[in-house]
Chain A
Amino acid sequence: MNSKKVAILAMLVAISVSTNYAMISFYNVKFMDFIVFVGGFCFGPIIGALTGIISWIVYGTLNPAGFEIRIWLATMLSEAIYGVVGGLMNSVVVSERNSVLKGKVLSACVFFGMLGMLLTFGYDVITNAVCGYAWYGSVLVGILVGFVPFGLVHVISNAFFFGLGCVPAIRVINNLTGGKKNGSATK
């Protein structure tokens, strides 16, 4: 990993953690998942996964909601899924001429919105299952109780953030970092 990638990783983690603290009063509405996904999409699955893991190392340790090591490990590892999937999606979605998502903006927005929903479902199932086991001694109760209303809020808000934010964010980041020239995984 070169110095530019380290700098990018540090910036992504900083944005991710700071927005999480800034949005502390909006329970389960956070930009972190979106930032981790975009980070993975633009700079590869490793950078994406590391952004999620390091963000949760900080935010999970100094968490206003409290610290529970099993939940902390679950959220940390689950968050990495956004980054890894973001990195893998790059090769699937991006066009061949470095014109990211050109001509298919609407489809791309819908695609990212629904992908955000599905990823958030996966994240919530894993983390709520661990929360349920830790708090109630029941995985099923954790999954069901955690879904309404907070899981639903998380899923819907992420659908909006991913759907509306991914295309412009990816374009801006590629313009700023020069895409592939500066180690970006974007084609």
Chain B
Amino acid sequence: MALLRNRWILVSMFLACWSLTATFLGGFYWFKYTDTQNRIGEGLIYVSIGIDYGNYTREWHNNTKAFAGETLFDVTKQVADVTYEVSLYGTQITAINNVSKHGSYGWTYWVLNSTNQTLSMVWEGVDAHRVAADETYMWYYTNEFNPPT
């Protein structure tokens, strides 16, 4: 019974429980913080997204907010109603704002070269291509590989 008579034993155990809980909680939130920081990188960035429906109709979503590290797929979903399929080859956009791929027509995506102001096709999966700050992208509904004019 000596153990229970000694209040310092109970106080010590309480402090041990408290410090362990605090340490583990602190460690957990440190881990979550660094994980989030790594994930979002530099933080908030802005990109511009254009959608060309191939019938001389074009809409722009300028200064769309995104986190560094997000993909073109993530950003496109923010500005448009997107339908997609996931296969072994990655994610494929099948419709944007209810304009679906049909026959040889489908959605292609292009990035603006800020130096010569020309659009180049992005040869990377839409869910793999990470957007960068101040870039401009164009979604183009077409059946060929010529850039939108």
Q: Interface on A for B, CB 8 Å cutoff? A: 92-96, 101, 104, 107-108, 110-111, 114-115, 117-118, 121, 141, 143-145, 147-148, 151-152, 155, 159
Contacts and interface: CB of A to CB of B under 8 A. Distances in A.
B2 to A, nearest CB: 8
Contacts of A115: 13
Interface stretch (B15-23, B39-47, B54-62): B15-23
Given A110-B10, A111-B10, A114-B16, 12 more contacts: A92-B3, A104-B1, A107-B5, A114-B14, A118-B13, A118-B17, A121-B17, A144-B24, A147-B24, A148-B28, A152-B21, A152-B24
Contacts, number: 59
B122 interface: no
Contacts of B14: 114
Where chain B touches its partner, the secondary structure class is helix
Contacts of B20: 117-118, 121
10 contacts: A107-B10, A111-B9, A118-B16, A118-B17, A121-B20, A141-B31, A143-B24, A145-B28, A147-B27, A152-B24
Q: How large is the interface on B (under 10, 10 to 19, 20 to 34, 35 or more residues)?
A: 10 to 19
B10 A144 contact: no
A67 B106 CA distance: 46
Interface of B: 1, 3-5, 9-10, 13-14, 16-17, 20-21, 24-25, 27-28, 30-31
A125 to B, nearest CB: 9
A41 B13 CA distance: 19
A122 B3 CA distance: 21
Contact of A151 (B16, B24, B30): B24
Contacts of A151: 24
Contacts of B16: 114, 118
Residue among A94, A117, A152 having the largest count of chain B Cβ atoms under 10 Å: A117
Contacts of A147: 24-25, 27-28
Given A93-B3, A104-B4, A117 B17 contact: yes
Given A141-B31, A145-B28, A147-B27, A111 B21 contact: no
A92 B13 CA distance: 15
Nearest to B15: A114
A147 B30 CA distance: 13
B1 A144 contact: no
Contacts of B30: 144
